[in-house]
Amino acid sequence: MFLFLSLLFSIYMGWSMGANDAANCVGADIGSGIMKLRDGIIVTIFFSFLGAILLGSNVIKTIGKGVVPLNLLPYEISNIICMTAILGASLWVTIATYKKIPISTSHSIVGAVAGAGLSLSTPICWDKVIQIVICWILTPIGSAIITFLTFPIIKFLFSLKIIKKYEKQLVISFIYLTSAYLAFTWGANDVANATGVLIGTGKFSPKIASLIGGISIAIGVSTWGYKVIETVGFNILRLTPLMTIAAEIGSSLNIHLYTHFGIPVSTSHSIVGAIWGIGIYQGIKTINLKAAKEIIITWAITPLISGIISYVVAKILYIFI
């Protein structure tokens, strides 16, 4: 029963992730006016699924065993942590999606796993948690810097006469290519948030977990993905097509690096940081500072709230079982 519920909640987490994080991949494209919502959802579904299947196992191992050593705990305890962590994280992601706020599903699941582990007095791998938190801080900074440096290069290239001749076709092609790459890196890094803890139960292989996560994320993108797209595409900064290309290059390169080392970071942080990088280049007044403040506050409280939810639910379950 525990295993079945953990699997069910993992699918729910994947769905809520797809709904919240689809905006990270195509929100900027749609905001720039180049890509239609339907096309954005199709690109996100296909390439995020591909990323989950091909590279998702790297980060899955970190979530499954790196925060709390689930594979070393008694079977009943590991299943309670698995189930309550996924539930706590996914509930908070669903609430944020309803409010159209782009949050970090990575923050949510890591906070939830740690909260459930603390509730049952299990060992927490604090060195790994600290490492992950440092990377969380560096993620938006890194993508902002990469984008800040990339944008003037892209502006220069598109000012050349030979490119001006084919500017419209090239812009559209680059928009689709960069959003596909971003969706690929998102699927590779974030699929672990949905199914990483399943690995710790010892009943699922990384590949099977990636497949389950990839499918559930695709369902979330196609059913509720439009909710947060509006915030990322329109409410942070009004984006031109060239700004969008630079932001997606900066964000996806940033995420790919962390995925290679198996570190779960936030694609929400990465794309929003990239958009802020553009804003800083254009002048700080171009950024919607009110929206930026709301997003930062939500980022900060995300691991805390999901951790509290999983802590309370795990404690209740342990008492009654």
Q: What are phi and psi of 69, to 5 degrees?
A: -75, 75
Identify the top-confidence range among 53-62, 142-151, 199-208, 230-239.
142-151
Q: What percentage of residues in the chain have a pLDDT greater than 70?
A: 94
Structure confidence at residue 152 (pLDDT)? 95
CB-count exposure of residue 81 (10 Å: 0-12, 13-18, 19+):
buried
Structure confidence at residue 255 (pLDDT)? 94
Structure confidence at residue 236 (pLDDT)? 58
Structure confidence at residue 230 (pLDDT)? 62
Distance of CA 263 to the CA centre of its chain: 12
- Check whether 229 has a pLDDT greater than 80: no
In the block, tokens 């579904």 appear at 45
Structure confidence at residue 253 (pLDDT)? 94
- Check whether 284 has a pLDDT greater than 80: no
Structure confidence at residue 50 (pLDDT)? 92
Is there a contact between 93 and 105 (Cβ–Cβ < 8 Å)? yes
Cβ neighbours of residue 228 closer than 8 Å, sequence gap 6 or more = 19, 20, 21, 22, 23, 27, 97, 100, 101, 102
Reported confidence tier of residue 319, pLDDT bands at 50, 70, 90: confident
Lowest mean pLDDT among 4-13, 30-39, 117-126, 157-166: 30-39
**How many Cβ atoms sit within 10 Å of the Cβ of residue 261?**
12
Higher pLDDT: 43 or 192? It is 43
Query: What does the pLDDT look like over 159-197, one tens digit per residue?
Result: 998 888 899 899 999 999 999 999 999 889 888 788 877
- DSSP code, position 99: T
Q: What percentage of residues in the chain have a pLDDT greater than 90?
A: 33
Give me the mean pLDDT over the 257-278 stretch: 86
The whole-angstrom separation of Cα 265 and Cα 255 is: 7
The DSSP code sequence of 210-228 is HHHHHHHHHHHHHHHTHHH
Structure confidence at residue 234 (pLDDT)? 61
Is there a contact between 152 and 145 (Cβ–Cβ < 8 Å)? no
Lowest mean pLDDT among 20-24, 187-191, 297-301: 20-24
The DSSP code sequence of 21-57 is HHHHHHHHHHHTTSS-HHHHHHHHHHHHHHHHHHHTH
What is the CB-side half-sphere exposure of residue 99 using CA atoms within 13 A? 13
Give me the mean pLDDT over the 251-274 stretch: 88
- Check whether 142 has a pLDDT greater than 90: yes
Reported confidence tier of residue 250, pLDDT bands at 50, 70, 90: very high
Reported confidence tier of residue 314, pLDDT bands at 50, 70, 90: very high
Structure confidence at residue 103 (pLDDT)? 80
- Check whether 130 has a pLDDT greater than 80: yes
Q: Average model confidence (pLDDT) for the chain?
A: 85
- Check whether 235 has a pLDDT greater than 70: no
Structure confidence at residue 138 (pLDDT)? 93
Is there a contact between 179 and 35 (Cβ–Cβ < 8 Å)? yes
CB-count exposure of residue 315 (10 Å: 0-12, 13-18, 19+):
middle
Give me the mean pLDDT over the 66-82 stretch: 84
The whole-angstrom separation of Cα 143 and Cα 71 is: 34
Reported confidence tier of residue 57, pLDDT bands at 50, 70, 90: confident
